[in-house]
Amino acid sequence: MQSDVNGCSTCPAGEERYEEYTSSKGKKLVQYDYRHKDGQLFSCVKPTLHECRKARNEWLLAVDPDATLYVL
């Protein structure tokens, strides 16, 4: 992502960052980062932002069953 520093995510705790791009094969993708309030980083690459957020919510429930999920 353009906001990365030396290849490392700069996403602050409790926030998300995403960037849409076109792969070398011409496929549109979204690179997505979310940093949990405890500092754990979730990253994924999926075809849509909706799919990234869905995967984030599944991950969030696995690491923090009491987490407040974000609306998709």
H or E, element range at 6: none
pLDDT tens-digit series, residues 11-25: 878 889 999 999 999
Do residues 52 and 18 touch, judged by C-beta distance below 8 A?
yes
Pair of tokens at residue 34: 């979310």
pTM: 0.81
4-7 long-range contacts (CB < 8 A, ≥24 apart) are none
pLDDT tens digits, 42-54: 999 999 999 999 9
Please report the pLDDT score of residue 72 as a whole number. Answer: 63
Percent of the chain with pLDDT over 90: 62
Characterize 3-13 residue by residue with b for buried, 16 or more Cβ atoms within 10 angstroms of its Cβ, and e for exposed.
Answer: eeeeeebebee
